[in-house]
Amino acid sequence: MSTALIIGASRGIGLELVRQYMTDGWRVIATARDDAGRDRVQALGAQCLRVDVAKPVSVTSLAWLLDGEKLDVALFVAGVMDRASAHTPPTQDTFDRVMHTNVMGAMMAIPQIAPMVEAADGVLACISSVMGSLQGTRSSDAALYRISKAALNMVVRTSQPAYPRARLVALHPGWVQTEMGGVSAPLTTKDSVTHIRRTLSQLTAAQCGQFLSHDGSTIPW
C-alpha cells in the first residue's frame, strides 16, 4: 500500500488531499496543529499527528513520529497569508508568523522527511504560489506573503541536490476556493487537488527541483 504524508491537513487543500488519497486506497498520515483539525482528519480515516510547523519544538518531532516510514508522496501544505502591501512595514510578530510557517517550517521538515521519500523513490512537494514568482510580480499587495513563497521556492531548489533520489517540486495549486483564496476563486479544492495529484504522479526527471503549476506547466522563478 502506498503511503502519503500531508503536512498541514486540517482544512482546505490539505484536507482534500487527505480525502482523495484515502478514497483511492492510500495509507495517509497527516498533521494538524489543533484538536479541531485533528478531528477533521481522523473523521476521514487518516492517521493524524499533532504538529505545528511554526513552532520548532513541535516540528522537530516529525522524524521521531515517522520513524521507519517510507513515503511515496509527501506534501508540505501548511501556510498563512498576510495581505498588507509593501506600503506597510510588517510587525515583528507578523513577520515571524508568516516566515516561520511558510519558510522555516519547510526548512525544518524537509531534512526529516526527504530521506523517507528517497527510501520510496517518491515525490516531495511544497505548496507555493504564483505570487512567489519574481518574474511574474506586478503588484505590491500581500508583500510579505509573496516574499515568503519566493523563499519557499528557494528551499525546494536548494534541497533537490541534497536529496537526489527524491523528486522535489514547488507547486502552485491555482487560485482555489479556500479560506485564503476566497469564494471568488475559479477552482474548487476538489479540482485543484485532482490536478495536483495527477501532476505528481506524472512528474518527470526534468521537472525535479522546478516550480510548477497544478496542471504541470512550468512557472518562471
The string of pLDDT tens digits covering residues 107-137 is: 999 999 999 999 999 999 999 999 999 999 9
Count the Cβ atoms, other than its own, within 10 Å of residue 215. 12
How far apart are the C-alpha atoms of 114 and 143, rounded to whole Å?
Answer: 29
Site of grid cell 525544518: 108
pLDDT digits (tens, 9 = 90+) for 162-208: 999 999 999 999 989 887 778 888 889 999 999 999 999 999 999 99
pLDDT in tens, 57-111: 999 999 999 999 999 999 999 999 999 999 999 999 999 999 999 999 999 999 9
* Pairing label, strands 73-76, 47-50: unpaired
Instruction: Tell me the three state secondary structure of residue 176.
Output: strand
The full set of domain ranges for the chain reads 3-213
- By residue count, the chain amounts to 221
Question: pTM of whole model > 0.75?
Answer: yes
Output b/e per residue, 174-203; b: 16+ Cβ within 10 A: bbbbbebbeeeeebebebbbebbbebbeeb
Helix boundaries (H) for the chain = 12-23, 35-43, 56-59, 62-65, 92-99, 105-119, 143-159, 189-201
The mean pLDDT value of the chain amounts to 96
Superfamily of domain 3-213: NAD(P)-binding Rossmann-like Domain (3.40.50.720)
